[in-house]
Amino acid sequence: MRHAVLARIRANGVLFASSVAITEALALLVLAASGRLAYFNNETTRLIELVVSFALVIATKIHARSAFEAAASKGHITQISDEPESRLVVADQCPAAWLVQLHIECCADIGGMPAPNQETALDSRANRKS
């Protein structure tokens, strides 16, 4: 259980850090193109970047949840029960696999979700032995 909480914290931290990096790069490009590069270190600019970063995180999580629900309804998610805990595996054929994985790592409560169809276990990277 503790591993799941740490993985969830890490995934949310990486998502937020990525959104801050994207927002800062866009702000730098916009300010450089408009000739107002001096405003990059302004407190107002930093506050706007922070708000846009949070909005980007929320939009990404909403989109990831939609992708997760679509994948679950199409049978692209398989629940595997190991001894200590169960885990979800995303199929290779899932068109938005990275969003589904993002939702699983950031938000999904495996114990509280309806069990996916275990008979439709599709070929998955996690299930292959290489």
Query: Which pLDDT score, from 0 to 100, does residue 118 have?
Result: 42
The pLDDT confidence band at residue 108, using thresholds 50, 70 and 90, is low
What is the rounded distance in angstroms from the CA atom of residue 126 to the CA atom of residue 4? 17
Inside any domain, residue 29 = yes
| pTM for this model (two decimals) | 0.72
129 inside domain: no
Tell me which residue of 117, 71, 67, 119 sits closest to 91, measured CA to CA. Answer: 71
Per residue in 17-56, pLDDT (tens digit) is 999 999 999 999 999 999 998 898 899 999 999 999 999 9
| Structural domains in the chain (count) | 1
Residue 80 dihedral angles phi and psi, to the nearest 5°: -110, 125
**What's the rounded Cα separation, in Å, for the pair 110 and 59?**
22
Q: Over the stretch 59-83, which tens digit does the pLDDT of each residue have?
A: 999 999 999 999 988 888 888 776 6
Nearest to 88 by CA among 114, 70, 54, 63: 114
User: How many other C-beta atoms lie within 10 A of the C-beta of residue 93?
Assistant: 13
Does a structural domain hold residue 16?
yes
Residue 45 lies in a domain: yes
- In a domain? residue 126: no
Boundaries of domain holding 11: 2-120
The answer to whether position 102 is within a domain reads yes
Query: 125 in a domain, yes or no?
Result: no
In a domain, 8, yes or no: yes
